Copies of this chain bind each other. A is one copy, B any other.
Amino acid sequence: MELKDIANELVAGCREGREAENLGRLYADDAVSVEAADPMGMGRETKGIEGIRGKHDWWNNSFEVLEANVSDPYPHGDDRFAVRFTMKAKSKENGEVSDMDEIGIYHVADGKIVREEFFYGM
């Protein structure tokens, strides 16, 4: 798959709730996911697709998404693209509702996403 196809499919999957399926299809086995910050002291990087799947599970177990908007992809050359995510999410633990606004940068090599990096304020 070319960058454009991967980017469009990642965005479509986020809009349609196919993130878990797309993790298997679009990501390299040794892909790395990097958070903007490390408030819990667990490190910013998660290495490997199973670790990234664990992040998705943690998110789904922790938050109920009330509203979400996923931008079209913003390409950069033939090996990266950005996506902006805005979201209203409710903590399943304490019911608190937060507005989230973040940008993901996706690196592509050999037809797979090999790295995702999230940019957001805390």
- Chain A interface residues (CB < 8 Å from chain B): 34, 36-37, 44, 72-77, 80-82, 84, 101-103, 105, 117-121
Query: Across the interface, do B121 and A75 meet the contact criterion of CB distance under 8 Å?
Result: yes
Do A36 and B75 form a contact, CB below 8 Å, given A81-B119, A84-B84? Answer: yes
Compute how far the CA of A27 lies from the CA of B37 in the bound complex, rounded to whole angstroms.
Answer: 24
Q: Complex Cα distance A82/B36, Å?
A: 11
CB-defined contacts of A80 to chain B, threshold 8 Å: 119
Which 3 pairs, one residue from A and one from B, show the smallest C-beta to C-beta distance?
Answer: A74-B119, A82-B119, A76-B119
Q: Is the CB of B77 within 8 A of A37?
A: yes
Nearest residue (CB) in B for A105 is B105
For A77, the chain B residues whose CB sits under 8 A away are 34, 36-37, 44
Task: Tell me the complex Cα distance, A75–B73, Å.
Answer: 19
15 new A-B contacts, CB < 8 A, other than A36-B77, A75-B121, A84-B103, are A34-B76, A36-B74, A36-B76, A37-B75, A73-B121, A74-B101, A74-B102, A74-B121, A75-B120, A80-B119, A81-B119, A82-B103, A82-B105, A103-B103, A105-B105
Task: Report chain B residues within 8 Å CB of A37.
Answer: 75, 77
